[in-house]
Amino acid sequence: MEYRIERDSMGEVQVPAGAFYGASTQRAFENFPISDRKFSRRFIWALGIVKASAAVINGRDGYVDADKAAAIVTAAEEVISGSLDTQFVLDIFQTGSGTSTNTNANEVIAHQAAVILGAAAGDRPVHPNDHVNYGQSSNDVIPTAMYIAAAAAIHEDLIPSLKSLQESLTAKAVEFVDVVKSGRTHLMDATPVTLGQEFSGYAAQVGYGVSRLEKVVTEVEELALGGTAVGSGLNAPAGFARDTIAEIARRTGLPFREAPNHFEAQAAKDAAVAVSGTLKTIAVSLFKIANDLRWLSSGPRTAISEIRLPSLQPGSSIMPGKVNPVMPEMTMQVAAQVIGNDAAITWAGANGNFELNVMMPVMSSNLDESISILATAAATLRTRCIDGIEANADRARELVEKNIIVVTSLNPHIGYDKGAEIAKEAFASGRNVREVALEKGVMTAEELDLALDLKGMTEGGIIG
């Protein structure tokens, strides 16, 4: 590989000849060969948004020469578009403020801005710190980009995906409204429900997840930009944060605003922890739904099999004809990952020391991953599983008619103890509740027909 010599405050360093970044980025690249994890596309997009917006305001207000500011905006828009993604080479596991990645952005944008201005090779008319980073610090830029990325992904990806999933579940609840089946508690037979009622519960879980997201996302719409190094705003011009954040809001179409307390915004990351907690709750909901679908479709000959999932792929390398519930299993694994990410985010959030949180890169990476995989999993579960579910109404009816717990509807008429006696005898003899109750003469045949109305039991109240 060919190299060129770059210089920073620590001296000379070899940088790959074709790299757009400079000495500081190269040092970080060599210092942190930890994993293959990089900042997400969404985060790099957000970082470009911050740099472009700052340059607009700095150029307008005369803090950066107008021609340089315009070139910085154009270069930052290349970062926004993704055309410079290969130049963002640093590992997530790096300095806890994310300074290395902020520097990476400053150097790449300064290089591109110089090219735009027609600078000769070796000339540096745009300085990474003095011009691209004017009025900023890594300590307020990185949390700002983290929150922009999270808020945008929630609004644009996760909420729409969950709303579509809720709609599909609601449609199935309507479709299955008359399919009576056994309810189950503790995995044991309970009083009847309809399959539609079960699916209405799933739809409501997802709906509550959307409501929780819509409330908590407002917390990450407060941006730290303007606090610079420690929250005091040293070296940031008056009005810089307010106007830059207004430009960020204009570019993204989202209601970002300046944090009212910059010391909280930089020392703590409680908003990120709160968002992650909501993501974890949504993951738990999706896990519950997916796991139920596995149970309800289990068999198909020797277990519950009250629903049929779409057959998507062979399920075994040795058992011909086996088909597995792959979409629910995928969803459950995504949920497990989000729950694990939340643990890392929670611990990272706890590590704010005095004026700065020092675990922001891993927090941002996990937050972005949780939002992304939840959005994609919900969409995939909907299109490849939920929309194609069919009720096995005959099987549901067969099982509910064997259910001795339907005796519960007789309690108001004959009492709990007599009902328990009938249930035990029905179980021991292999007969159904109606047969045993009629034999014991506790009610007439007509009364039993009314009291043991299976559909009626799903509607509440006293039956008969």
CATH of the domain at 432: 1.10.40.30
The secondary structure of residue 407, as a DSSP letter, is G
Q: Is residue 242 part of a domain?
A: no
214 and 349 belong to one structural domain: yes
Range of the domain at 103: 3-134
Q: Over 90: is that where the pLDDT of 122 sits?
A: no
Peptide bond connecting 33 to the previous residue in cis, omega within 30 degrees of 0: no
Is 137 a residue of the active site? Answer: no
236 within some domain? no
Q: What is the pLDDT confidence band of residue 159, given thresholds at 50, 70 and 90?
A: very high
Of 186, 285, 370, 409, which one is the catalytic site residue?
186
And the tokens for 326? 């792959």
40, 365 in Cβ contact below 8 A? yes
Flag whether 232 is in a domain. no
> How many structural domains does the chain have?
3
The string of pLDDT tens digits covering residues 76-108 is 999 999 999 999 999 999 999 999 999 999 999
CATH number for the domain including 354? 1.20.200.10
The SS3 assignment for 356 reads: strand
Sequence-distant (6+) residues with CB within 8 A of 398 are none
* Residue 186: active-site member: yes
Q: What is the C-alpha to C-alpha distance for residues 105 and 43, in angstroms, rounded to an integer?
A: 11
Whether residue 127 sits in one domain with residue 55: yes
Do residues 115 and 216 share a domain?
no
Instruction: Let me know if residue 237 belongs to a domain.
Output: no
Say which of 81, 211, 311, 316 is annotated catalytic: 316
Give the confidence band of 420 by pLDDT, cuts at 50, 70, 90: very high
- Among residues 40, 15, 156, the alpha carbon closest in space to that of 98 is found at 40
Predicted TM-score (pTM) of the model is 0.97
Question: What is the CB-side half-sphere exposure of residue 429 using CA atoms within 13 A?
Answer: 14
* Domain edge (last residue) among 113, 134, 155: 134
Distance CA 410, CA 312 (A): 44
Instruction: Quote the pLDDT of residue 205.
Output: 98
In 76-187 the beta strands, taken as DSSP E runs, fall at 180-185
